[in-house]
Amino acid sequence: MAEGVIARVPNEIKKDIEFFAEVEHTDKSNIIRKLLESAVKQKRLEYALNEYVKRNLSLGKAAELAKMQISDFMEEAAQRHIPINYTKEDLRRDFKAVFG
């Protein structure tokens, strides 16, 4: 279900929205939805990575918060040179959960 949101933006952003609407042969609302979706996705990832770095979230919870597969989240962390917080005990626990 979609809900309307009203926001004031600087003239430059308004012009950019109009430009991309024209280039993509669509309306301004569609461009704004695409931009917001992309920005929110990026913001979720940044927040999840930050919380993971601070060790406030486990790898799985951070990936879940970012709405990503763990492997994709790990790849994103690696690209940013963020070490994976995964101990031998974590590995033992995971093996036990899988293999009993």
Sign of CA dihedral 52, 57, 62, 66: negative
Q: Is residue 36 part of a domain?
A: yes
> Would you state the pLDDT for residue 76?
96
Do residues 44 and 63 lie in contact, with contact meaning Cβ atoms separated by under 8 Å?
A: no
Percent of the chain predicted with pLDDT > 90: 73
d(CA 45, CA 52): 10
> Would you state the pLDDT for residue 1?
78
State the residue for tokens 């601070």: 54
The total number of structural domains in the chain stands at 1
Q: Is residue 3 part of a domain?
A: no
> Would you state the pLDDT for residue 88?
84
Q: Is residue 67 part of a domain?
A: yes
Q: What is the pLDDT of residues 16-64, one digit of tens each?
A: 999 999 999 999 999 999 999 999 999 999 999 999 999 999 899 999 9
d(CA 41, CA 36): 8
> Would you state the pLDDT for residue 30?
95
> Quick check: 5 pLDDT over 80?
yes
pLDDT-derived band at 100 (thresholds 50, 70, 90) equals confident
Closest by CA to 16, choosing from 34, 33, 28, 4, is 28
CB atoms closer than 10 angstroms to residue 31:
19
> Quick check: 81 pLDDT over 80?
yes
Q: Is residue 4 part of a domain?
A: no
Q: Is residue 59 part of a domain?
A: yes
Residues spanned by the domain of 54: 11-99
d(CA 60, CA 63): 5
Max Cα-Cα span within the chain = 61
Q: Is residue 5 part of a domain?
A: no
> Quick check: 82 pLDDT over 90?
yes
Q: Is residue 2 part of a domain?
A: no
Q: Is residue 20 part of a domain?
A: yes
